[in-house]
Amino acid sequence: MTAIIEVSRLVKRFGPKVVLRQLDFRVESGEFVALLGPNGAGKTTFLRILSSLSRPTLGNVSVAGFSLPHQAANVRRRLGVVSHLPLLYGDLSAEENLLFYGRMYAVDNLARRMDEVLEQVGLTSRRRDLVRTFSRGMQQRLAIGRAILHDPEVLLLDEPHTGLDQDACDMLDAALRQVAVRGRTVVMTSHDLSRTEDLATRFDVLARGMIQGSIQRQDIARDGLLGYYRQTLEQAQNNSKNHRPEAAP
């Protein structure tokens, strides 16, 4: 398998605050990686760097064979991003939002592709309705449609379940399984273990600005993810107590 995302010795600072310190991360093509971690661990910052929205302070980042930030346009062409915000215009209809993003991504046969995507996320009947009239769950499904409209190789999901009720979460997961995950490489951040457990093939724990542990799905028991997660965080905490935190360069 070839690595589609490769990150080595990544450092991100905001002023004096070091958010990511010497982070190494590698994702093979076709993997679904859940990036778990407590609030403030640096998950969103890491995903913003992978999506070219934020520049790394130090280190090497490459996505789909292109390095960031120098080849950002090539990376963006191959990426789809879903965040807890829908990235949609409330005063445009569902199909107008897709039309706009399709033009920005220069999608071929856009009208046909829009039909396919709306069908896949189950919003064909609401295609002419304004997005501001949609429920939060419907907006997130349309956000998935927007993210896969240009058929990206890599999908980055940043806490996509935030603010959704149980039913909306289930529908979002179903949409993710049916549409987004198929044949794509996915990196999803979450602190909701139960949601990621059935979706991901690999679980990485990010805490204190570093990947503290990584485990394949087949290596954990059905109800063992929570145990692994807690144990890894505990280990990270003990390590930081025993050793002075390594200063990022």
Partner 1 sequence: MSGLTPFIRALGAVVWKDLRAEWRSRELISAMLVFALLVILIFNFALELESTVRANVTAGVLWVTFTFAGQLGLNRSMAVEKDRGCLDGLLLAPVDRAAIYLGKTLANWVFMLLVAIIVLPIYSVLYNTNLFIPGLLLTILLGSEGYVAVGTLLSSMAVQARTRDILLPILLFPVAIPVLVAAVKATGGYLQGLDINEIRPWINLLITYDVIFTAVAFMVFDSVVEE
* Residues in contact with partner 1 by the rule CB under 8 A: 48, 51-55, 73-74, 76-77, 79, 81, 83, 85-92, 96, 100-101, 103-106, 130, 146
Give the residue with the Cβ less far from partner 1, 9 or 84. 84
**3 state DSSP class of 105:** coil
Smaller CB separation from partner 1, 55 or 230? 55
Q: Select from 38, 14, 102 the least CA-distant residue to 233.
A: 38
Q: CB-wise, 79 or 225, nearer to partner 1? A: 79
* Alpha carbon separation from 156 to 109, 124, 147 (Å, rounded): 24, 24, 9
Q: Residue 207: beta bridge partners?
A: 210
Least spacing, CB of residue 247 vs partner 1, in Å: 23
**33: CB partners within 8 A, 6+ apart:** 27, 186, 187, 188, 200, 201, 202, 203, 204
Closer residue to partner 1 in complex, CB, 130/220: 130
Chain centroid, CA 62 distance in Å: 16
Contact between 172 and 195 under an 8 Å Cβ cutoff? The reply is no
Shortest spacing between CB 214 and partner 1, in angstroms: 27
Other beta carbons within 10 Å of 99? 17
State the Cα–Cα distance between residues 235 and 127, nearest whole angstrom: 49
Task: Please state the closest distance from residue 123 (CB atom) to partner 1, in A.
Answer: 17
**Rounded least distance, CB 69 to partner 1, Å:** 8
Q: Which is nearer to partner 1, 3 or 87 (CB)?
A: 87
- Rounded to whole angstroms, the Cα distance separating 203 from 31 reads 11
> Based on CB atoms, which residue is closest to partner 1, 109 or 237?
109
Q: Give the nearest distance from C-beta 84 to partner 1 in angstroms.
A: 8
Among 185, 207, 213, residue whose Cα is nearest residue 6: 185
In the complex, minimum distance from the CB of residue 91 to partner 1, in angstroms, rounded to a whole number: 4
